[in-house]
């Protein structure tokens, strides 16, 4: 189970002093106290050397009323409690501006956990898993596009290449940028497992090591910053927008996940005698939970209007709730590997999501399946895109929401998912997303002009 924030569990003075010594040893001049808002946007409070001790003691305050979905102006003072294990030196800048980052939990002025802190939301859900005897491991595959920029520096949707899946240079013009991103991640302590060109022109994927959910969420937020920063160094614009171009594949963030037993550390999803070549009963129940709540947590895992432009047939993104041992058309795929590598892959999330909230709702859904012993049914090993509506109905295969508004309706009806988020996050998230939807539907889009202007 992940440790609580330093200011709430009295983390050892020795650990704090160890980080302080590292700051001095590494020649760090600035320390970024990193956190995220409810929508997953990374924020930071940067302090100079003179404030390092105060920062490590959790005494740095910030105005919470200026952060999306945090607090009202009359409750504005918030504290940042550093997670000492997350200390990393950023591998850029010169000796006079050398900067490190440390991920923080957001606390109330009295030092108690803030209900609106996304990292705190994930902690709470991991504690629920721990109460059942499990920890959560996650391996996200975050895809992104590299686009050219205009002379004024503004981004375009013009890709920098015309390569396809696993192509190499010189077809893949982004290989040098991608390699520089990998080198930067390695310098930050990431264990990168793979990096390659994806299906669409200008689309890339870099996968880092499967690990515990909290560290993985921390790494993912920093990963997005690194990708954008390095791309900018190469004169390119990196975007994690799910569907920036019509007619080609969008960017997903497939999430491989499993539960490990806290008793012996072994993968609880594997059972040598289990059904379907070693899948444990617990794993089947977990998949049952993901299928039961998948429609309802899609607003969290696919949180922007554009997310639902990706979740359409024909571009390898899932549109229906089913699971499979073989093909990639259903919502959930079980990769071939067994033993400690046994896992399920949830294929709907996209990289615009807040990873702390996304992992929270996935875990809550899976654990609900475990508690209720939900049956996921038989695996659907046919291509769901090619099945008729009648065939899907016969297999009880439901469809994902078609847009953000529908997804929000589903979310608000699901007690398990709502509880996983907590009232503060749920209320502010839904309010922000309802506003986003209203702004979208009020706009007149180019498609409407092209379709209707000369006809009516």
Known catalytic residues are: 63, 141, 143, 198, 205, 254, 328, 345, 347
Task: For residues 248 and 158, give the distance between their C-alpha atoms in angstroms, rounded to a whole number.
Answer: 13
Largest interatomic CA distance in the chain: 74
- Short-list 72, 60, 67, CA closest to 117: 67
Q: Using an 8 Å Cβ cutoff, are 140 and 216 in contact?
A: yes
∠ CA 409-349-35, rounded to 5°: 95
Instruction: Pick the closest to residue 180 from 239, 231, 223 (CA basis).
Output: 231
Q: How far is CA 262 from CA 238, 360, 362, in A?
A: 39, 18, 19
């Amino acid at each position: 189970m992940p440790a609580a924030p330093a200011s709430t569990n009295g983390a050892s003075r020795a650990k704090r002093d160890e980080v302080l010594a590292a700051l001095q040893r590494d020649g760090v001049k600035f320390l970024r106290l990193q956190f995220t808002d409810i929508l997953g946007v990374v924020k930071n409070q940067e302090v100079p050397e003179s404030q390092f001790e105060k920062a490590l003691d959790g005494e740095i305050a910030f105005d919470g009323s200026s952060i999306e979905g945090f607090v009202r102006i009359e409750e504005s003072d918030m504290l940042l409690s550093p997670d000492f294990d997350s200390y990393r030196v950023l591998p850029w800048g010169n000796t006079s501006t050398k900067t490190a980052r440390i991920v923080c939990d957001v606390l109330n002025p009295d030092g108690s956990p803030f209900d609106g802190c996304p990292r705190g939301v994930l902690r709470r859900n991991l504690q629920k898993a721990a109460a059942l005897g499990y920890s959560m491991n996650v391996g996200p595959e975050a895809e992104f596009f590299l686009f050219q920029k205009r002379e004024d520096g503004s981004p375009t949707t013009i890709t920098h290449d015309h390569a396809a899946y696993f192509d190499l240079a010189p077809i893949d013009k982004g290989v040098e940028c991608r390699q520089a991103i990998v080198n930067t991640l390695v310098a930050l302590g990431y264990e990168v497992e793979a990096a390659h060109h994806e299906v669409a022109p200008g689309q890339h994927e870099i996968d880092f090591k499967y690990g515990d959910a909290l560290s993985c969420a921390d790494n993912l937020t920093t990963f997005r910053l690194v990708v954008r920063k390095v791309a900018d160094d190469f004169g390119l614009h990196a975007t994690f927008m799910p569907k920036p171009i019509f007619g080609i594949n969008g960017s997903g963030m497939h999430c491989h996940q499993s539960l490990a037993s806290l008793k012996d550390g072994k993968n609880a999803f594997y059972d040598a005698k289990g059904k379907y070549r070693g899948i444990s009963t617990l794993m089947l129940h977990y998949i049952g939970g993901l299928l039961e709540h998948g429609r309802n947590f899609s607003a969290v895992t696919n949180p922007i209007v554009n997310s639902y432009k990706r979740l359409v047939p024909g571009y390898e993104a899932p549109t229906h709730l089913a699971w499979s041992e073989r093909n990639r058309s259903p919502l959930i795929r079980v990769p071939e590997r067994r033993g400690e590598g046994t896992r399920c892959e949830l294929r709907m999330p996209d990289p615009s999501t807040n990873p702390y909230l996304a992992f929270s709702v996935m875990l809550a859904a899976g654990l609900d399946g475990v508690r209720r012993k939900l049956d996921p049914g038989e695996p659907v090993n046919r291509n769901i895109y090619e099945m008729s509506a009648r065939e899907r109905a016969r297999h009880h295969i439901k469809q994902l929401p078609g847009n953000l508004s529908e997804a929000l309706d589903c979310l608000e009806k699901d007690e398990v998912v709502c509880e996983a988020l907590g009232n503060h996050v749920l209320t502010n998230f839904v309010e922000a997303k309802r506003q986003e939807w209203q702004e979208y539907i009020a706009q007149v889009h180019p498609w409407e002009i092209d379709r209707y202007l000369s006809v009516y």
